[in-house]
Amino acid sequence: MATFSQVPIMTIQQPFGNFFDFTVSYTIRYTEEELAFPEGFVETLFFRENDDQEPFGGDDDTYGVVQPVFFRPQSRMETRTFKFSRTAAALDTESGGEEVYATVGHRRNIDGLNFNFRNTGIFPLAV
């Protein structure tokens, strides 16, 4: 099974005003057998706000989902990247700052197969 070679990495930039640009990258390793798999692989991303601390202590809010993307790996180790933007208003779900993270999902392109998920670190944002 393809394996994450590291924790996915998220970087955040605020190019102007109330906009934030996010980049999430991850590196994954494939076996020779997986490289030959004709149906390829599927990846997805969930962008979330961490709500495990008081007083909110509940389910994490999901800000957005990248619909599953199909691809065929070209080498035994590949770095994949997601890029997306959000406004400060879209991120502002509680008083004070926000704590955001992303969850990357990766699996073979076979219906019914579960994704292998890995989270980025959690980042504080002042919005």
Note the pLDDT of residue 36.
94
Residue 59: other Cβ atoms inside 10 A: 9
Q: What is the pLDDT of residues 33-82, one digit of tens each?
A: 999 999 999 999 999 887 665 555 555 667 778 889 999 999 999 999 99
Note the pLDDT of residue 117.
95
Indicate which CATH number applies to the domain containing 28.
2.60.40.10
| Mean of the per-residue pLDDT values of the chain | 87
Q: Can you spell out the DSSP letters for 40-103?
A: -EEEEEEEEE---STTT-SPPEEEEEEEEEEE---SSEEEEEEEEEEEHHHH--SSS-EEEEEE
Per the structure, the count of domains in the chain is: 1
Domain range holding 23?
A: 3-125
Amino acid at the residue 99: E
Note the pLDDT of residue 116.
95
Q: Pairing relation of β-strands 19-29 and 41-49? A: unpaired
Note the pLDDT of residue 123.
86
The model's pTM? 0.86
